[in-house]
Amino acid sequence: MGLSNGSSEGTVYLKLKGMRQEDAYPFLTRTVKKDDKWTTEGEWKQISGQLKSIKFKTFTSEKYGDKESLYLEIVDDAIYNIEISTGSALSRSIINSLAGTKKIDLIELGFYTQTKNDRSFKRAFVKLNGEDKSPWALSIDEQKSLTTVIEDPDTGDVIKRKYDKLLSKLKELCNPECNFNAQPRVTFEQATTSLDTHMSAPKQAPKQEEEIDDLPF
């Protein structure tokens, strides 16, 4: 019968999780419906294909208030709809890469944890159009200038950083031309029998431009 999540047959719905400090690494998990309840299953650290669309959506709930997510539609053996919350340094890095390229066909995303000076950081690498390194739309200095830093008036220590202006600018710049005509290469049933083959853990994350960890971006 093939994989089904109870909605929009032919599309695999994925969500980025593992972003808490205590989580070992970020990963994509599949959203499925079982016994009339939504749940998630599986862990994948990498996905690649043709980028069909980029969307930003905001949802409001009584418990969490407004929550915005980036949605990427990637087509390879099937159609993958990926949800990534915009409230993290990892997501801003992805948006920055997407905004730095005018036309995108092929995309490869990978997720990993970087340890530096006894601190762990959730990271993503983005390869666009087969290039080893995808340029950012905004440099680190430009990102700093759009970041609001709140300091303790007595000690000068950083209490909080706000990224509203930075995220707003990145979203404004993020309008590349995508391959809207991309179609799955095989049937949905064939694709789901070998999902792990197309969404696997990267052997080694490509080296990207180093970020300033104490921001953190």
pTM of the model: 0.82
- In the prediction, which pLDDT does 39 show? 84
Beta bridge partners of 40: 31
pLDDT for res 53: 96
Q: What is the mean pLDDT of each run of 10 residues along the chain (217 residues)?
A: 40 92 92 83 93 94 86 94 95 96 96 89 94 91 95 86 96 96 71 51 49 44
Predicted confidence at residue 2, as pLDDT, reads 29
- Looking at residue 117, its pLDDT comes to 84
pLDDT of residue 187: 56
